[in-house]
Structure 1
Amino acid sequence: MDQPQTHSDRTRTASREASLKIFEHRRFRTRFPALPDQRTDLPRTDLPRTTWDHLQRQLTALSSCAPDEVEAMLRPIRDAQAGKPPEMVLRELLIAASILLDEAPPPRGPQANWRGRLDHDLGPFASLAVMAVFAIVAAILFSGLLMAAHSFLVAIQDWLWRIFAS
């Protein structure tokens, strides 16, 4: 049974979460220090302003994922953006976008046979995926063969020990 959390439990949990956020922020800033303004003679060129709804609409249009899948991918980033450097949020958005856009669109037209479905399901590296599965199956069979050979050699060794020990 779950017992209700006490005030001290909630405080400890909040403290742990805050410490984790501080650690993630420091680790990010260590890896990606703030960029100095390299050229002061040029006007600053910021990214255009946009909204989460615009981002979700564009990712839904570009990917083959359902709108609720896109929203589920963006929700944790949106909820956790407070207190993070903008570049860190941008990095998380780029990762989410690459995951969403990695899904190949379903095949259409006369090419939509089993081969097209295989390419869609496995992506552009379908032949590499098939070769990897083949290599795994071959490795399993080969390891089984090695285990059988090892068992056979152990049995011969035991038989020879019994013959020469008597």
Structure 2
Amino acid sequence: MTISFNDNKEPFRQLAVYSSSTLYRGEMSQALEQARSPSLSLSPMSSPYSDIRAYVQGNTLASRKKVLPIIKDFLRDRERRAVHCGNLEESYEAPLQRACTEDAGIEEDSYFPPTPMNSLVEGCPLDNGLPKISAEALTEKFSKMASEEDNAGGH
């Protein structure tokens, strides 16, 4: 994304989408073209490179800080579809199934790798379910909290 100024000191923006994957480049471009919050008012411009789709951005007030959430939402949705496609369940929704079918033709080298596990943490404390809490333990805890509150209020 660039911003420049014409001879009359008026700003104009240009935006480019790069990907060696035709599918990803097309999907990202479509997300930006269809964005409504804010609308970017994109007009295609020629690019000498086949891996780049370039635009003149009509909405000059849409800065990178306003465009970034559009990109993040697109990537979040794309990751969600990839996760669902990896779990080949029988209960696909029609749009999700179509997205999975489209993704089947993605080039091998442009596949999103899975999110790495945090190697510093072995499992989750809640893996074995919620801790067992007795009524007596709750009563004792509330009594202790009440007495601490009484003691704090008296000082």
TM range, smaller chain: under 0.3
TM, length-normalised to structure 1: 0.21
Please give the TM-score of this superposition, normalised by the length of structure 2: 0.22
Which has a greater percent of helix? Answer: 1
Please state which structure has a larger fraction of its residues in strand.
Answer: 2
Larger Rg over CA atoms: 1
